[in-house]
Structure 1
Amino acid sequence: MTHPSLRPRALAARQHEIVILGGGIAGASIAYNLAKLGKKDVALLERNTLTSGTTWHAAGLIMQTRGTHSLTEIAKYNAELYDALEAETGQATGFKRNGTLGVARTKDRLHETARNASVAKSFGLEAHMISPAEAKALYPAIDASIIEGAVFIPRDGQTNPIDTCMALAAGAKQNGARIFENQEVKDLWRTPEGLYQLQTDRGVIEAETLVLACGLWTRDLAARLGARVPLYAAEHFYVVTEPMDFIRPTLPVLRDTDGHVYLKEDAGKLLIGAFEPRGKPVAMECLPKETAFIELREDWDHFELPMTKAIEIVPELANAGIAKFFNGPESFTPDLLFMIGEVPGLKNLYVSAGYNSEGIEYGAGAGRALAEWIVAKSPQMDISFVDVARFHPFQINKRYLHDRTAEVLGLHYKMHWPSHQRETSRGVRKSALHDRWAKLGASFGEGMGWERPMWFAGEGQPTENVYSYEEPNWFKHTAEECRAARADAVLLDQSSFGKHLVQGRDACRFLQWLCAGNVDVAVGKLVYTHMLNRKGGIETDVTVNRLSKTEYLIISSATVHPRDTAWIRKHITNEWNVTLTDVTSGYAVLSLQGPKSREILSKVTDTDLSNEAFPFATSQEIDVGYARVIANRLTYVGELGWELHIPTEMAQHVFDILWEAGSEHGLRPAGYHALEHLRSERAYREYELDLTPIDTLLEAGLGFTIDWSKPCGFQGKDATEAQKAAGTPRKRLLSFKLRDPKPLLFREELIRYNGGIVGYLSSGVRSFTLGSSIGLGYVNHVDGVSREWIDSGSWQIEIAGKLYDADVSLQAFFDPKGLRTKV
């Protein structure tokens, strides 16, 4: 990465250890949490006054129940802090726990709501599934005849965004932080010494650590330092009614997600906000520059649908007067998750931005997480899913962001279907084999911009997704692909793999220290290994191929490729004679898997593919047709197979001859849905789901990948050895299989042991081979998750409030010894 604003140090600068730019809820929360953690030299700069930008016009909803455990944890902390903030600081916040009533107009929405209510239970949150009549008793003005049911969360609530932000600022100052309003940053740069200097209208300010928490303006400020922060603005609407008789201060917040609206009491009036199906992106250059309290034009045509839906759910609104129509800009990210963390390549530059209209709901928790990261120099909880390092460089493209933002705003309130695919900003990255798969009837999905076959309908057949919490329309096709993988052979396109070359005279020594496994192996040996943080948490999940004495090829999942790049690069300091080169686009990858894969590949190569000549976990450069390819004998489906890394320009040739060779052996294409089902049957772990930075190799059942005897050790060894010495881990990843063949598992379902909640599923699928749903999930037990403890209890999985008996194992339910992969 280049840093265009690198400049010599201005010696006259005022100096601070930590400077935060932005006086909204994000910046105030970071300042508050840093000060609470004992950091005294903290300065917050706001170009206007506190709360300007977007905080001042936020709705102030406080909802704790989220679709994932990680987000629920952050949202729960928000409510706890806001509840205590007024007593701590003496500054009124307007916070009240009047509850949230979430209504469901359809049975599918009711099921989704019940699933989210189950997640709440694991955090001790009250979440009551109630009938339409019970919902009307809580909110008499609703038309209960148009809903199927509802959830009531009594400890949710609402707050005054301005007062809450001011309370955080007061708390920050009470603990030693300093806040400077009306100090606009005209320019900023990084010095050769690695410090950050900011030119303000009151002089130059210098910081050891700089935090950009500037909302919409974060992207452009970060760009001045050479950092990529993919944000885009969208118009966000709400109206405020005149006073109405039925409105009381205790009225719960009403969320009608099927109607795309939320309604909250607002000083005797009703605020009606919307996340309409298609948003209105707005370019930064189109926003008014003369004020920090931006209001955009009314747009009743755009607001017509949500207003109509609001009247449907609360008919009295048809006669309500409108006191205010508000339209203000909010910032959105491409994946609808906010971003925090250290910017790759720029040490001590942090970002907290892109809250997607949920800054009040996440700001305090995200502020705590980032403050802990800054103080400890590493995250103290799993925030990999919101890490600013997760984005690919192309995602800063403004046209891409504009079109994606129009979609993601509406996704807040659309159904959150399993395996849902984004519809906008597609076709960015395509495999060299894209047209071949399309001809075979592929239904494509997106992963880090890559168009990847998810399932195959067959030539000339419809490929649209019909989503469901029951059996989606692709299940029958995926089942056939899985059957072919187990009985014959399948061909998968895994060109989206991240591929890095690590080269240099220190390449071996560097990777030996960075990886927990032993990579000082013979040329052609493949090593499945992990890179750990200092606490022993898993930061990467990779395969390493030794190409020569001084060269390695590292292969990782497409969806975590940017983050893996950042992790490796940040450890290449001046002491290492090592270079890192991203060669992802240089190779297509065809994965040939199944019992007949050896027969098929033998027809197009002269290489001896026998077990003796080409053992499992080895790599050879071989001829395939007229091409030379790197053939890795590996599998992620649990069968005999090879992953063929092919120079991109030769990919179509290799595909064509393989396809022809496999025609008489039952070869068929398979997509990423099949891959997910097959890998789950073998209990292969997937990063971001089953492996995260707060999980250790011993907890994940991957202790066999560790080389304890390496003379150089490895990063995270001390923590890993300490956990090993402590005995049986208190947290452990287990395999589950439902006894009832009908229910489906996805992820986040609660795990119960003798009736008590002990964990939740990190991943889940229907196993077409085993005839039931299976999943992986971490369970916790204070005295250790031993085999004896596992066998002594009864196990159940909770799905949308219903309990289903399950079998449990420390190993996979399919081919637990992995014999099929090594024939």
Structure 2
Amino acid sequence: MSAGTNVTQGTSPGLDAGALPEHAQVVIVGGGVIGSSIAYHLTKLGWRDVVLLERRQLTAGTTWHAAGLITSAGCATETMLWMARYTRDLCASIEAETGQATGFRPIGHLSLATTPGRLEALRREAAFARGYGVDNQELSAREFGELWPQARTDDVLAAFYVADEGRVNPVDLTMAYAKGARMGGARILEGVTVIGFRTARGRVTGVVTDRGAIQTECVVNATGIWARQVGALAGVSVPLQAAEHYYLITDTVEWASPDLPVIEEPDRHGYYREEGGGILVGLFEPVAGPWSLDSMPGEVAFASLPPDWERVGPYLARAMDRIPALHEAGVRTMFCGPESFTLDIGPLLGEAPELGGFFVAAGMNSLGILLSGGVGSLMARWIVDGVPPVDVTGLGIDRTQLFETSRRFRADRTVEQLGALFADAAWPNWHPRTARNVRRSVIHDRLVAAGAHFAVSSGWEYPEWFAVDGAPPEIVLGWGRDGSFALQAAEHRAVREAVGMLDVSLMAKFLVQGRDAEAVLNRICANDVAVPVGRVVYTQWLNERGGIEADLTVTRLGEERFLAVVTDLVHRRIAPWIERHAPEGAHVTVTDVTSGTTLLTVQGPRSRELLQRLTSADLSNDAFPYLTAREIDVHYARVLAMRVTYVGELGWELHIPAEFSLTVYDALMEAGADLGYRNVGLGAMNSLRLEKAYRDYGLDIDNTDTPLDVGLGFAVAWDKPGGFIGREALLARRHAGPPRRRLAQFLLEDPEPLL
């Protein structure tokens, strides 16, 4: 335990005293606002056999010291906005339902813009929110000053005001959830420590505590800053890290009214609200302090940490400059408490890929109070229905990577996460600066020498664009065209007019083998993969509601051998999905071969001419048709070549054994010199695929979309023997008539960026 940490031990009067039940339909571990909300929402769906276990007392982890802001600010996705607004509405209604006050006060919320870039970002955010019914108004500096007379306004370009948002009491809200859960039949047991889990055949079967064991087929890890340790007890990776989180409360100031709206100012990394007659100034400093990297102290409850004045002092002083009178006010409290942050600043939700029936709801990145109602509803529906009711592509725990739990990665990445969450992550061209160069393709150094500018996804360094013939352009975070636009445009034209090479080694690749491989895959795939050897099949994997869980190609390499290629976003979803949907006793194995091959894709009207110079294979249309695959020689190497494209041009994917990768890359460079050959980054690939209306999973399509909604009905084999997962739901959609929503493509006449 860190020096200076304050600890309160013991338990409150037992909410449900007595022995542990022998069995429960679901066991929730963790009695903070998230666990209590999940218990409440499960009972609202009719589940009564719900047990919540809390090691100390409800709210004892991080819930008790939360600031309790209720705001849609920063909610840049439909799911995040829905969760925030759902919580806001529930804060008001649950009081009437349970008789337990929540302390919700809709005093209004203000977001400040003091730079042109921030002004554009907040205008976009406001327009997005208004599209979902949130009345987000743009105010002038004068109008802002009328709402907050003590605030400095001379540098304010605009303020964005949502009148029906504000604040809530975190402890009271948690108690309302808990009371509602008990009213619905749930049992809440305090003073119970989970020390292990029981499993069988890849699924959780029980929870072991210091007071006995509970049989269950469903567990929810909602333990907040302890979630990584609790997950490890079950062999589940939960990559999050506690960090120091600060706020200051001043002595009483006569002008501090409880009706003052909450202020958030991203570029000062601060937020402000009234607290007990003083003003609370909270920080999301751009250089944060990870706390307790090795393991979270199990005995800590209601913890406060010694402040690091040297580190946070300058940020706090700058934040207080927004309200100059605060510099003259005394300090009542300088609070530092632990809060959990994830390595991509998105919550970790859903069923763990390692263990069936083991759900995670953690890593709220200091937004636990704000998201509590939405997370509780989402998780309850996910558990009861088997599928999430909203888009979770950016929230599902299976998007994470195993290396992210390493001590060094957590230590390095967490430093920037608070500031990124509050400010920099608003920009579409922002990428993490810390903990980089984790995963690099074999040809990485060649790409560096060629002028590559790298971005990162799933730890992979991938080339976004290439600077040629000079120094790289300056990149400014924002929504406009940055200095790389002309370079990406040239790469785009090279693929359309000549030939380009893209390194897409970050794509996940799996060998699926065995005598039952065809049957298992054909049940999972919406398209028909019972095809001749050498055929490439474009398909989707669907859930029981017909929603898309993966968008991929499946290539038949042999009678009992297939290769699945899919976006890195769902890398950890693939093997568990196959294993959990394979019948008992099925003879099928899944092998992750991502790291063993380099995946180069050669695309453009002159791609055949280039490759033909390096191979003895016949690449003509008749000999090598579209959507076929075969092993060919390329220079000195034997590679698996697939005639497939993600940019809408003639081209081949080359799956190259790692040890031959440099040889093949160098040969392509040399042979293509007179053909207009160019290295191409994934920025240009994105514009190329958009022109052709090719979908990108996680951006254009997600788990709530069916193939019919997004124009992929052509990839559905409706009548194949045995059907496929989601077929009945998809048929019902088809028989209901035209989709209520449809993914459409637009051509903008104005060449300037509008969206």
Give the TM-score taking structure 2 as reference length. Answer: 0.95
Aligned to 2:456: 446
- Alignment partner, residue 417 of structure 1: 427
Please show how residues 109-124 of structure 1 align to structure 2 within 5 Å: 109-124=118-133
Q: Name the counterpart of 1:387.
A: 396
* Deviation readout 1:506-533 (Å, 9 max, x if unpaired): 1111111111111111111111101111
Contact kept, 8 Å, 1:191 with 1:197, in 2: the verdict is no
1:483 pairs, out of 493, 508, 531, with: 493
Deviation at 1:195, TM superposition (A): 4.9
1:276 aligned to 2:285? yes
Q: Per-residue deviation at 1:566?
A: 3.2
Q: What is aligned with 1:582?
A: 592
Give the SS at the match of 1:296.
Answer: coil
* Distance in 1 of aligned mates of 2:720 and 2:155: 65
Question: Do the aligned partners of 2:197 and 2:204 also contact (CA within 8 Å) in 1?
Answer: no
Partners of 1:365 and 1:286 in 2: CA distance: 29
- 595, 606, 623: which one aligns with 1:596: 606
SS of equivalent residue, structure 1 residue 738 = coil
Task: For residue 310 of structure 1, report the CA deviation from its aligned partner.
Answer: 2.4
Q: Which residue of 1 aligns with 2:219?
A: 210
Counterpart for residue 633 of structure 1:
643
2:267 corresponds in structure 1 to 258
Q: Check the 8 A contact 2:294/2:407 in 1, yes or no.
A: no
**Per the alignment, in what secondary structure is the counterpart of residue 659 of structure 2?**
helix
CA contact (8 A) 1:64 1:79 kept: no
2:67 is aligned to: 59
Match of 2:682 in 1: 672
Equivalent pairs, count: 735
Alignment match, 2:558: 548
Tell me by how many angstroms 1:471 deviates: 1.1
User: Deviations along 1:752-790, whole A, 9 cap, x unmatched?
Assistant: xxxxxxxxxxxxxxxxxxxxxxxxxxxxxxxxxxxxxxx
Match of 2:410 among 396, 401, 404: 401
Partner residue, 2:141? 132
Contact 1:189 1:224 in 2 (8 A): no
Match of 2:114 in 1: 105
Query: What displacement does 1:577 show?
Result: 1.3
Displacement after TM superposition at 1:300 (Å): 2.0
How far is the alpha carbon of 1:202 from its aligned partner?
Answer: 2.8
Q: Which amino acid is the alignment partner of residue 382 of structure 2?
A: W
- Report the AA paired with residue 430 of structure 1: R
Residue in structure 2 matched with residue 795 of structure 1 by the alignment:
none
User: What displacement does 1:338 show?
Assistant: 0.7
Which residue matches 2:209? 200
Q: What is the correspondence of 1:215-614 to structure 2 with a 5 Å cutoff?
A: 215-285=224-294, 289-415=298-424, 416-458=426-468, 461-462=471-472, 465-614=475-624
1:187 and 2:196 correspond:
yes
What secondary structure, in the 3-state scheme, does the structure 1 residue paired with 2:318 have? helix
> Is the alpha carbon distance of 1:429 and 1:464 closer, same or farther for their aligned partners in structure 2, counting shifts above 3 Å?
farther
Amino acid at match of 2:542: L
Q: Distance in 1 between matches of 2:450 and 2:364?
A: 40
SS in 2 for 1:144: coil
Contact 1:513-1:712 at 8 Å conserved across structures: yes
Say whether residues 1:164 and 2:167 are aligned partners.
no
Mapping 1:38-53, distance limit 5 Å? 38-53=46-61
- Show structure 2 runs of 5+ residues with no match: 1-18
**Residues 1:12 and 1:256: Cα distance change in structure 2 (over 3 Å):** closer
Task: State the one-letter code of the partner of 1:256.
Answer: E
1:21 aligns with 2:29: yes
- Note if contact 1:189-1:196 (Cα within 8 Å) is conserved in structure 2: yes
Larger relative strand fraction: 1
Residue type matched to 1:269 in 2? G
Deviations 1:235-255 (A, max 9, x none): 001111111122111110010
Tell me, in whole angstroms, the C-alpha distance in 1 between the residues paired with 2:696 and 2:480: 23
SS at match of 2:707: coil
Give the deviation of 1:402 after TM superposition.
1.4
Distance (Å, rounded) in 2 between the aligned partners of 1:236 and 1:573: 48
Secondary structure of 2:26's counterpart equals strand
Do 1:195 and 1:206's aligned partners in 2 also have CA atoms closer than 8 Å?
A: no
Find 1:704's aligned residue among 676, 693, 714. Answer: 714
- After superposition, the C-alpha distances for 1:316-366 in whole angstroms (9 at most, x for unaligned) are 111011100100101111110111111113121111101111100111111
**CA contact 2:141–2:159 (8 Å) conserved in 1:** yes
1:192, CA displacement in angstroms? 6.4
SS at 1:378 equivalent: coil
Distance 1:455 1:568 in 2: 35
Show CA shifts across 1:641-691 (max 9, x none). Answer: 111111011011011111100001110100010000100000100001111
Letter in 1 for 2:454: F
Residue identity matched to 2:433: E
Distance (whole Å) between structure 1 residues aligned to residue 227 and residue 372 of structure 2: 15
Within the candidate set 627, 633, 642, 2:652 is matched to: 642
Tell me the distance in 1 between the aligned counterparts of 2:604 and 2:278. 64
For residue 44 of structure 2, the aligned residue among 36, 39, 49 is 36
The alignment's C-alpha RMSD in Å is: 1.6
User: Does the aligned pair in 1 maintain the 2:204–2:216 contact within 8 Å?
Assistant: yes
Q: In structure 2, do the counterparts of structure 1 residues 530 and 610 end up closer, same or farther at CA, with 3 Å as the change threshold? A: same
Paired amino acid for 1:167? A
> Is contact 1:30–1:368 with CA below 8 Å preserved after alignment?
yes
1:205-233 deviation digits (Å, cap 9, x = unpaired): 33231111111111111111111111111
Q: Identity of counterpart residues, as a percentage?
A: 44
Structure 1 residue 398 displacement after superposition: 1.6
SS of equivalent to 1:72: helix
Q: Within 5 Å, which residues of 2 pair with 1:660-739?
A: 660-739=670-749
1:21 partner letter: V
Conserved 8 A contact 2:293-2:407: no
8 Å CA contact 1:26, 1:213 repeated in 2: yes
> Cα–Cα, structure 1 residues 291 and 626, in superposed 2: closer, same or farther, change >3 Å?
closer
Residues 490 and 592, structure 1, Cα contact 8 Å, conserved in 2: yes
- TM-score, normalised by the number of residues in structure 1: 0.87
Verify the 8 A CA contact 1:384 1:692 in the aligned structure 2.
Answer: yes
Q: Which moved more, 1:58-67 or 1:191-200?
A: 191-200
Summarize deviations over 1:728-772 as a string: whole Å, max 9, x none. Answer: 111111001222222342xxxxxxxxxxxxxxxxxxxxxxxxxxx
The separation in 2 between residues aligned to 1:443 and 1:389, in whole angstroms, is 28
Kept in 2, the 8 Å contact 1:332–1:354? The answer is yes
1:657 equivalent in structure 2? 667
1:45-75 deviations in whole A, cap 9, x for unaligned?
A: 1111111000000000011241112210111
- Structure 2 partner of 1:176: 185
Distance 2:228 2:587 in 1: 34
The unaligned stretches of length 5 or more in structure 1 are: 1-10, 746-823
Give 1:417 deviation, angstroms.
1.3
SS for the counterpart of 1:737 is coil
Q: CA deviation at 1:276?
A: 0.4
> Shift of residue 123 of structure 1?
1.7
